[in-house]
Amino acid sequence: MDSKVERRNVSSSSAGESGDVKNTIATTTAATAAFKGAKSSRWRRFVLKPFVYVQFFFGIGLLALAFQQFRRKNTHPEQSPELIAKDWEILYYRIIPFRAISRAWGWLTNRHLPAWARQPILGLYARTFNCNLDEALDGNLDNYSCLAEFFRRKLKSGVRPIDSVSTVVAPSDGTVLNFGRVTAGMMEQVKGVSYSLGEFLGPAYWRNGPEVQPAGQTELEYEKSLLVNKENDLFHCVIYLAPGDYHCFHSPVDWTVNFRRHFPGALLSVNPSIAKWVAGLFSLNERAVYVGQWKHGFFSMTPVGATNVGSIRVYADEKLRTNCTKWALPLPYYDRYMCPDDSDEIPLKKGEIFGEFNLGSTIVLIFEAPKDFEFKIRPGEKIRMGQSLHTTHSATKSSD
C-alpha cells in the first residue's frame, strides 16, 4: 500500500516537473517571440517607416523639379536665364548621395566577370554607347576581366594621329561643350550659362607658395593675375566625354606641370543637359586642377569628376586619391607643389598620355595665348584626341 502511494507521489511529482518544464519552455518561447516582435516593431518604427517616407517625399520632390523644369522649357526661350536652376533646386539636387552611388558603381564595375558573361555584358555596353571595337588595341571582349577594364581600353597605334602643325590639340575624344575667351573672369560652360574662373581654379598662389589672396580682388583682376605676358589673353575649352568615348586623356600641348590642386567636391552629372541647368557645375564637382607653363605662359588642364566616375587617375601623380568619403578629405581643397628640386615636375609632350577616367566625364582647358588665337571647333562638335583645336595660321604668327 505504502509503495503504491509512494509510486503515485513520484509519478505526480515527475508529472509536475515535466509540466513546469513545459511551462518554462512555453514562457521562454513567448518571451522570445515578444522580444522579436518588439525588435521588429522598433525596426519598422524607427528605420523602415522613416526610410520609406524619406524615399517617398524625395521622389515627389524630384518629380516636382522635373515638372517645373518642363514647364520652364515650354514657356521660355532656349537660352533664357529662367531655365537655370535656383539655389534651392541645386541644394535639393545635391542631397542625392551621388558620391556613395559612384563608389558603389566603381566597386561593381571592378567585379570579375566570368568568361561566359563577358560577351553579353560588354557587348551590350559597346552597342548601347557605340564603342568602336575596331580601334581598340584588344578588340576581343573575352580578354577584359571586368567592365572597368573595358572602360580603360587602349587604342591601336596610329588611330589617333597627333596634328604636328597645331600647338594645341584635343586632349581626348568627346563633344565640345563650349570654348572661347575668358571675359571679366567668367567662362561659359555651355552657351548662356557661365561660371567663375576664380571659383573653378581657387586662389592663385601656385607660383610662390601660399599667399593670402588680395581682399576685394575682382574677377577681372584675378584673370589678369594669371597672365605671364600681359599682352596675351586667357582662353578656355570644355570637352565632354560620353560613356562610349575613349576614356584616356592626353596632353594637349608641350608644357610642364608644377602644381596640382584637388577639390574633393560633389559628383553631379556633367551631362550637357545638366550643364545647361546648373550654373557653376564644374566648380561644384570634384576635380584635379593641374597648373604649369607652356611657351605662351599660363596653362592648366583639369579633369572633372562626375556621377559614376569611380576615379580620376593621373599616371604621373600617384598621390592623387579621388572619390573618397567626406571624412577622409574634409577640407575644400588640397594642394601639391611639384618642385624641380624634388624632381616632382611633370614635363609633358603634346599627345603624351596623361591619365584616365573610369567612365565619361569632362576636361577643362584654361590657357594663356596671343590675342589673335582662334579656335576652329564648334559647340556640339564631336572631336577626336590629337586633332587641332585652332587655326594653324594663328599659331604660326604667334611663334614668329
Asked whether 331 and 269 are in contact (CB, 8 A), the reply is no
Buried b (16+ CB within 10 A) or exposed e, 161-190: ebbeebbbbbbbbbbbbbbeebbebebbbb
Pairing between strand 193-196 and 297-304? Answer: unpaired
Residue 349's alpha-carbon distances to 59, 160, 247, 295, 354, in angstroms, are: 48, 15, 19, 12, 10
Cell 596653362 belongs to: 299
Choose the catalytic residue: 102, 361, 388, 394.
361
Active-site residue, 372 included: no
Query: From the candidates 250, 262, 296, 390, which is the catalytic residue?
Result: 250
Give, as one character, the DSSP assignment of residue 375.
B
Active site residue 142: no
Q: Long-range contact list for 180-185, CB < 8 A, 24+ apart?
A: 180/235, 180/236, 180/375, 181/233, 181/234, 181/235, 181/236, 182/223, 182/233, 182/234, 182/235, 182/236, 182/366, 184/219, 184/220, 184/223, 185/218, 185/219, 185/220, 185/221, 185/222, 185/223
173 a catalytic residue: yes
Going 133 to 138 to 144 to 150, the CA torsion angle's sign is: negative
Give every CB contact of residue 269 below 8 A, 6+ residues apart in sequence.
98, 306, 307
The C-alpha cell at 1 is: 500500500
Element (H, E) at 367: strand 362-369
Please provide residue 234's backbone torsions phi and psi, each rounded to the nearest 5 degrees: -100, 140
Residues with Cβ within 8 Å of residue 285, at least 6 apart in sequence: 263, 265, 266, 267, 268, 270, 304, 305, 306
CA–CA separation, 301 and 316 (whole Å): 14
Residues in the chain, total: 400
Contact (Cβ atoms closer than 8 angstroms) between residue 125 and residue 146: no
Residues with catalytic function: 173, 250, 361
